Amino acid sequence: MSINKINAEAKESLRKYFKNSQDVKHENEARKEFEDCLIEECQEKQSNLDTCYGAVNNQYMHLCGVLATAYELKLISKDEYDKLRKQVFDEVFN
């Protein structure tokens, strides 16, 4: 085996185990941002998200109830009921 081939294999092997300086810089920046993040902020954002999800889910359930009542009272047909329910779902969750 030639010295050039050994050197090439050694360089390739080292590349697999060591990161370049740019990767290390990005990791350090990400780690610093993570360390600066307060757990209280994350918990507050999660709480707000949960509240919004609950409100949206309640609105969806209310609209489905209204549609079901309208269908039971024969105010809308089954096709209209299905179409409106799908439309409500698409608007709320998409």
Residues 6+ apart with CB under 8 A from 31: none
Each residue's pLDDT, cut to its tens digit, for the chain (94 residues) gives: 667 767 666 666 655 555 555 666 666 776 676 666 677 877 887 888 888 888 888 888 888 898 899 999 999 999 999 998 888 888 777 7
Asked whether 76 and 90 are in contact (CB, 8 A), the reply is no
In angstroms, the CA 9 to CA 65 distance is 69
CA torsion 87-69-54-90 (nearest 10°) is -10
What is the phi/psi pair of residue 19, to 5°? -90, 155
Give the helix, strand, coil percentages of the chain, each rounded to 5. 85, 0, 15
